[in-house]
Structure 1
Amino acid sequence: MNKILIIEDNIEIAEMERDFLEASDFAVTIETDGEAGLAELAQGGYSLVLLDIMLPGRDGFAICRDIRAKSEVPVLIVSARGEDIDKIRGLGLGADDYITKPFSPGELIARVKSHITRYERVLRQGAETGAAEAAAAPSQELVRGELRIERLSHRVFLGKKELTLPNKEYELLTFLAEHPGIVFSKEQLFEHVWGLDAIGDTATVMVHVNRIRSRIEPDPAHPIYIETVWGAGYRFREN
């Protein structure tokens, strides 16, 4: 049974989220402040974190930054603050998704399941990388200019420097690099990487593309890897 950690100071909202999740066979722990949530997450075993922004003491943005510095567990911000600047900030700090209150139970459960499925797949791929896979590794590399993506080991290099990318940034970069020259709309990318159709906020894609560019582009304002095709979407440039 997957374990979910809820960090939410409004106990009524936290208990409502818990009820939705337990009805879908998740085990749930609630913490009402960020520091207690970090301590609980450090105990291990959690598959996903639901994180509020408006917390006593340090806010959810600071807590998200601390989580991402130590763990790749999916973080879904659930907040009444629905302004674009809050979404961009949360996603920029490493959150995997941003859900605005009020939300439907179906949307919450769908997003939770999608993120856990993808996270478990990444962990499984890492655990299965052994001697046989290492031997096959050369055919599993994507090389685009100075950029090298090792799909089996889930590693990305720019020249000789290894980059550290959160799961969603890695998946988005890999998908685009696997299809050079093809333009994908934000909706297509959201559906492929996040695994959800129609209910997603495509600003999530824009934020993640900008984060990837800040890591791989010599000049993010003039990208040489991921191009914006105005009115259409994004394209990985063919070398």
Structure 2
Amino acid sequence: MNVLLVEDDTVIRRSVALVLERYGYTVASAEDGLAGLDLFRAGGHDLLLLDVMLPGLDGIGLCRKVRETSLMPILMMSARGDSIDVVGALEAGADDYVVKPVEPPVLLARMRALLRRASFTPTEPSVAPTSAPAVDGHQVLTFGNLTLDTDGLEARVAGEPVVLTPTELRLLLEFAARPGAVLERQTLLRTVWDYGWDGDSRVVDLCVQRLRKKIGAERIETVRGFGYKLVR
């Protein structure tokens, strides 16, 4: 697996690269946002590991640039865990974030979870929607004007294709597997983000927010004090 690491702190950049290479990853690294953008455009990377605070083009700006053309998994690193950095990173299109300093086992676990999420096989829905026609041999779930091809991993709204990141797609498939059922944030952290522990639920809230913008705000309902559900 090829990792693009963009980090301006020389010590952190070299130590992270050494850890990743020790575990079999190939690492290309850059010390500022513009150099990172050049490496991204050169292609060949499976995951982007990105610091928030960067000279030239900061991590948020670079994340947005990447999301204009790529669904590559993005893991943001921040020296602060406050809402400004976290929300900014997730709204820019990052899939997850870690707070520095981060222990190597935690970083590796988050990266592996992201890579699994980008190459997962969906499970069959436990509750069938009212309409589920087969198209070209594929199972297509229908929820109002939203259709979801669970074999081809494609979503459409009113017939128009919707571009989803791997995390957004997996979240939508999790909702579609149990339409009308309330899914708690901690449950989604475990099933979608592959967290083996109760992580920060802000990643769920921000990903739901991004998903709503793409498929319609009315399609995912908030159940206060519990979580979210896909409207049938």
TM-score under structure 2 normalisation? 0.89
Q: Is the 8 A contact 2:186 2:198 kept in 1?
A: no
How far 1:207 sits from its partner (Å)? 0.3
Name the residue aligned to 2:109: 110
Distance 2:25 2:92 in 1: 26
Aligned length: 220
Distance 1:10 1:213 in 2: 36
In terms of mean alpha carbon deviation, does 19-28 or 57-66 score higher? 19-28
Distance 1:72 1:212 in 2: 14
Distance 2:198 2:103 in 1: 11
Name the residue aligned to 1:136: 137
Tell me the SS of whatever aligns to 2:174. helix
In structure 1, what residue type is equivalent to 2:213?
A: S
Q: 2:37 matched to 1:53?
A: no
Q: Which runs of 4+ in 1 moved over 3 A?
A: none
Q: 2:222 matched to 1:228?
A: yes
Name the residue aligned to 1:31: 30
Which 5+ residue runs of structure 2 have no aligned equivalent? Answer: 122-133
Distance 2:28 2:160 in 1: 39
Name the residue aligned to 1:165: 164
Q: 2:2 matched to 1:8?
A: no
Deviations 1:8-31 (A, max 9, x none): 111101111112212221111211
How far 1:199 sits from its partner (Å)? 5.5
Q: Is the 8 A contact 1:142 1:178 kept in 2?
A: no
Aligned pairs (5 A) from 1:1-239: 2-121=1-120, 135-137=136-138, 140-198=139-197, 200-217=199-216, 220=217, 223=218, 225-238=219-232
Distance 1:70 1:234 in 2: 29
In structure 2, what residue type is equivalent to 1:157?
A: R
Distance 1:90 1:199 in 2: 20
Q: Is the 8 A contact 2:184 2:227 kept in 1?
A: yes
Higher helix share: 1
How far 1:54 sits from its partner (Å)? 1.0
Q: Percent identity?
A: 35
Distance 2:10 2:59 in 1: 16
Tell me the SS of whatever aligns to 1:181. coil
TM-score under structure 1 normalisation? 0.87
